[in-house]
Amino acid sequence: MPDQSAAVHTEGIWKIFKQEAEEVRAVRDVTLTFAPGEFTALAGPSGSGKTTLLNLIGGLTRPTRGRIWVAGQDVSQMSSQELAQFRLENVGFVFQAYNLLPVLTALENAEFPMLLRGVPANERARRVGELFERTGMTGLEDRRPGKLSGGQQQRVAVVRAVASNPALVLADEPTANLDTAASEALLDMMLEFNQELGVTFIFATHDEHVMERSRRVVRMVDGAIDSDETRS
């Protein structure tokens, strides 16, 4: 049994995909522990397994072998319904493509996970209002995603991820579609949330700026851990 205080613990996890007659070992025998409040980058080239590992931790896909604990709960043993509820209550996601709903406003997108959780409207508005103010999004609440820049859309995605006070935020290449200035602003914002709110962040990235900001960098090659370095 892993340390129950760990934010995430993976034990010998494998993910094997079938492609026609071949097997693709996307993640190979990965054992890792992430402490609460970490700001960690999973680094590596395309095809190294970092996004697959992130999806396994978030319960978006299941391991072929091995077990995964998030916030002390064994997500690898949960049913699909239990996983969906667990993700809603415990995990925030930030995707490369933003994944905002085009028919909703910025405010409605940011509130959406809390709406699904049954958080009262006044509390949703309070939390998102505070986070929009902190992220320079005040005045843009009624704009739909198509009327926002890429950096603004990704700020909405980050606010959506943290507004529910999750134990963990998983970010898949969050800066990939942003210019340098927007990327730096987004990283500053996420680091601020990490330090002030204690939210654990794990990134899948090949962006050197993300790695420079991260206190721990886990490098992956061909689905396996190549190195694991923590800065003092």
**Strand pairing of 216-221 and 200-205?**
unpaired
pLDDT at 3 over 80: no
Does residue 183 lie in a domain region? yes
pLDDT of residue 115: 93
Structure tokens at 220: 């992956």
Number of domains in the chain: 1
Question: CA 228 to CA 214: how far, in whole Å?
Answer: 12
Is 22 buried (19+), middle (13-18) or exposed (0-12) by CB count in 10 A? exposed
CATH code of the domain covering residue 45 = 3.40.50.300
Does residue 192 lie in a domain region? yes
Residue-number span of the structural domain to which 74 is assigned: 8-101+167-230
Does residue 132 lie in a domain region? no
Does residue 108 lie in a domain region? no
Q: In Å, how far are 65, 73, 205 from 27, measured between CA atoms?
A: 10, 21, 16
Position of tokens 């409040």?
37
Does residue 157 lie in a domain region? no
Helices 150-163 and 106-117 cross at an angle (nearest 10°) of 20
What strands, in cross-sheet order, belong to the sheet with 73-74?
Answer: 22-34, 8-19, 65-70, 73-74
pLDDT at 232 over 80: no
Question: CA 1 to CA 32: how far, in whole Å?
Answer: 14
- At 128-183, the pLDDT tens digits run 999 999 888 899 999 999 999 988 998 999 999 999 889 899 999 988 888 888 88
Could you report how far apart the first and last alpha carbons of the chain are, in Å?
A: 28
- At 98-115, the pLDDT tens digits run 889 999 999 999 999 999
Q: How confident is residue 23, by pLDDT bands cut at 50, 70 and 90? A: confident
Does residue 186 lie in a domain region? yes
Does residue 116 lie in a domain region? no
Does residue 219 lie in a domain region? yes
**C-alpha count within 13 angstroms, C-beta hemisphere, residue 25:** 11
Position of tokens 């603004």?
152
pLDDT of residue 167: 87
